[in-house]
Every structure is written in structure tokens, then in C-alpha cells.
Amino acid sequence: MEAEDGTVPLDETFTETIEHYGRSYQHYALTNGVYFAPIDEDEISRLELMHGVLNRLFDSRLIFPPIRSPRRILDCGCGPGDWAMEVASQYPDAEVLGIDISPHVIPENPPDNMELQVDDLNGRFTFPSNHFDVVHSQMVAGGIHANRWRSYIRDIFRVLRPGDHALSRWSRRYLQSQQPYKDPRAPLQMATWMRSAGFTEVESRLLTLPMCAWSNDAREYEIGWANNENVNQLLYSLALYPFTQFLGMSFNDFQLLVAQARSEAGNPAFKVNTP
């Protein structure tokens, strides 16, 4: 398999093994101090068992951040590929790339939307910036050098695409559509302006308003439940004319953005507030 653009292929020394008290180890991993666990069938079975245990611990949640349609997913230290294969099945339109130091443990027949690559995570990532929607790094402490962790985290941050939810896109475009006619953020400056005008007893508080019923607090839960219908309507009514007339957005694109924003606003997992 050709390496994905921006990655460095490794030589055949990665296939060499060493026997030690009846267990098989990867020669490269031992001689470079990368990984000291076996890479034989017994270890593959243990890794698959561990995946099942973690699945139960996580209530079968493969990805914790709320994400709807990831395009590219990177699994660092994929091992036998159980997590990566499940994610590839759950998101058939996504491209899933699994990386592991050992070619002996990675699966031979991955799904069509999944690729596998032999690589050492201790080397700097050479993927393009903002390339992946999700980077999964789990149970890799035994394979990362102590002095690599900080740069490893920086590499992950660099190759991840910034989060860009539909609600954020709606908000940015709403602010854009109001210029230069209105300033939706004017209330945030009100206290300063009032003091400048001569008011002396000025109190300013920023309250948050739940967009749906997500809070564990009974009062906030009730407020969020009541507010969700208001949010669903304002996402459409406040933006219809400005988006289509001032920004030139097509009606179909407008409807799609509003539908996506409504889905996020009504999803308790997002825990969205309106300041």
C-alpha cells in the first residue's frame, strides 16, 4: 500500500521479529526502545479483549465529541484495528486511516473506506495541517517516548481541523449579514457606554440561556425545554432575509444550514447556551 500523502514510508526492518521466552517481538520496536510488548497471536487476542472491555466501559461510544459527518479519521496505534474498523462501519462515507508500528498486528482485510499504515508515532507527523476531523489516540502510553509527548500532542492539534459546527457558521454569517446596519453584540458594550454617558450605578450581568433541555438543574432544564422552540424558529426567521438577500445565499443552502443548526441546538449532548 502506498503511504498517504505527507507520510514517510518505513523500510522492511519493521517486519523482522525476535523470539524471547516463547513470545514474538518486533525487532525495530525493541532496538529503538519504542514498544516492549509482544506482537504475536496471544497479544492480538488480548488487544481484542481489551477493546471489548473498553467498549463496555464507554457504553459502545466510539467517538465522544459530538460529530455528525467526519470526513477523515486517524487512529494512532490502531493495533488489530478493532476501533478503526467499527468507526469505518459506523461512518461509511469517512476515510479512516489506522497507524501502528507493527505490521504483524494490523488486520489483513480492512473495510473499503479504511487504510492501514506502518509508522512510528515518535516521528513527527508530516500530514497536512487541518487534515483530520477526528484523531483517536488510546492506550498508546507504552509506545510513546517520554520526551515525545508534548510534540505528539502538538502534532495532533496541528493535523486536526478546527471545530466548525453549524451553529457557529450560522452565528458568523448572521453577524456578517448585519453589517453595517446593525450590531448584534452591542449589549456587551452597554455597561461601558452607560458609564461613559454619566450613569454611576451600573450593574451588568451576563446570563446564559440553554437552547434545549440538557441541564441537570431542574430550573435550567425547564427553561431549555421551553426555549428550544423559540430557537428553532429564530434560526429561520431572523436569518431568512439577511442571508438570502445580503449574503446571496441560495434558499436550498439556507434551508440546509438552518436544519443543521436546529439539530445541534436541540441535541442535549452539545449543551449549547445562548449568552
Tell me the per-residue pLDDT of 248-262, one tens digit each, with 9 for 90 and over.
999 999 999 999 899
Which residue is it, cell 451600573?
Answer: 202
Contact 60, 118 (CB under 8 A): no
Q: Tell me: the pLDDT tens digits for 125-173?
A: 999 998 998 999 999 999 999 999 999 999 999 998 877 678 888 998 9
Say yes or no to pLDDT of 210 above 60.
yes
Cα angle, residue 95 at apex, residues 90 and 100 outer, rounded to 5°: 95
Other CB atoms within 10 A of residue 253 CB: 13
Say yes or no to pLDDT of 119 above 60.
yes
Cis bond before residue 9 (omega within 30° of 0): no
Q: Given this model, what pLDDT does residue 1 score?
A: 33
Per-residue pLDDT band at 183 (split at 50, 70, 90): confident
pTM of the complete model: 0.62
- Tell me the C-alpha distance between 33 and 148, whole Å: 13
Say yes or no to pLDDT of 107 above 90.
no
Residue 197's Cα: distance from chain center in Å?
Answer: 46
Q: Given this model, what pLDDT does residue 90 score?
A: 92
Q: Tell me: the pLDDT tens digits for 75-94?
A: 999 999 999 999 999 999 99
Q: Given this model, what pLDDT does residue 164 score?
A: 64
Residues near 1 by Cβ (< 8 Å), separated by ≥ 6? Answer: 115, 116, 117
Q: Are strands 95-100 and 114-118 parallel, antiparallel or unpaired?
A: parallel
Q: Given this model, what pLDDT does residue 8 score?
A: 47
- Tell me the C-alpha distance between 167 and 234, whole Å: 12
Q: Given this model, what pLDDT does residue 70 score?
A: 86
The amino acid that residue 248 corresponds to is G
Q: Given this model, what pLDDT does residue 3 score?
A: 44
Taken in order of first residue, the domains within the chain and their CATH numbers are 12-159 (3.40.50.150), 166-274 (no CATH)
Residue 94's Cα: distance from chain center in Å?
Answer: 13
Q: Given this model, what pLDDT does residue 11 score?
A: 62
Q: Given this model, what pLDDT does residue 13 score?
A: 82
Q: Tell me: the pLDDT tens digits for 2-57?
A: 445 444 455 678 899 999 999 999 999 999 999 999 999 999 999 999 999 999 99
Q: Given this model, what pLDDT does residue 188 score?
A: 85
